């Protein structure tokens, strides 16, 4: 596990549930409005709920993250968001670690991310990659982005042989 400073918490990471969709949507909408991630419809969240893990503390969803399987031996970590008042507590790191653990359990060796927070992901062994190296199949969500085709996010990938 990556060493991040953390405050003591009583929270836990668990799979997303039907009752979490509105909270997940609220977090995503907040950051999407700032252009920091793609917006997701409620319908899309129901369709992809199994991709999500949530960080729950005292009955509140404070963080979310998804592992989306894209292609043979390739998945994407997406939709990482932590409530603004709860950032810098290691919640995001725990969510990413949970997604990487799931990728390992599914025997997925390559996990990528498109992000504005490249330094954060480099701490997990992600390295810069050319977006052109990624299969065209992953760009289906990008077609709905206002920045397409001029994406300004950094692409990073973590291969199974990368250190954690």
Residue holding tokens 């062994």? 125
For residue 26, say if its preceding peptide bond is cis, omega within 30 degrees of 0: no
Output the pLDDT for position 147. 54
Mean pLDDT by runs of 10 across the 164 residues of the chain is: 52 97 96 87 95 96 96 93 93 97 96 93 94 66 54 85 52
User: What does residue 50 show for φ and ψ, rounded to 5 degrees?
Assistant: -65, -15
Output the pLDDT for position 61. 97
Question: Length of the chain in residues, anyone?
Answer: 164
Q: What angle do CA 30, 34, 37 make, to 5 degrees?
A: 80
Output the pLDDT for position 130. 85
* Closest listed residue to residue 89, CA positions, set 1, 5, 24: 5
pTM: 0.85
Round to whole Å and give the CA distance between 131 and 152: 11
Report the DSSP pairing between strands 74-82 and 60-71: antiparallel
Round to whole Å and give the CA distance between 97 and 80: 12
Output the pLDDT for position 1. 41
Task: Describe the strand order of the beta sheet including 60-71 as a list of residue ranges.
Answer: 12-15, 52-57, 60-71, 74-82, 110-115, 154-159, 127-128
- Are 46 and 74 contacting, i.e. CB atoms less than 8 angstroms apart? no
Query: Which positions ≥6 away from 142 have C-beta within 8 Å?
Result: 38, 148, 149, 151
Output the pLDDT for position 149. 54
């Amino acid at each position: 596990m990556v060493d991040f400073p953390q405050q003591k918490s009583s929270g836990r990471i668990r799979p997303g549930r039907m009752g979490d969709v509105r909270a997940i949507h609220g977090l995503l909408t907040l950051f999407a409005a700032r252009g920091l991630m793609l917006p997701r419809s409620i319908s899309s969240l129901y369709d992809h709920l199994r991709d999500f893990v949530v960080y729950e503390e005292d009955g509140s969803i404070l963080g979310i993250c998804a592992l989306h399987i894209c292609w043979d031996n390739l998945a994407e970590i997406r939709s990482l968001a932590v409530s603004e008042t709860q950032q810098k507590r290691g919640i995001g790191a725990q969510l990413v670690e949970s997604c990487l653990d799931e990728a390992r359990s599914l025997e997925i060796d390559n996990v990528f991310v498109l992000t504005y927070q490249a330094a954060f992901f480099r701490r997990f062994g992600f390295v810069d990659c050319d977006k052109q190296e990624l299969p065209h199949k992953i760009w289906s969500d990008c077609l709905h982005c206002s920045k397409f085709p001029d994406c300004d996010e950094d692409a990073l990938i973590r291969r199974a042989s990368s250190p954690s």
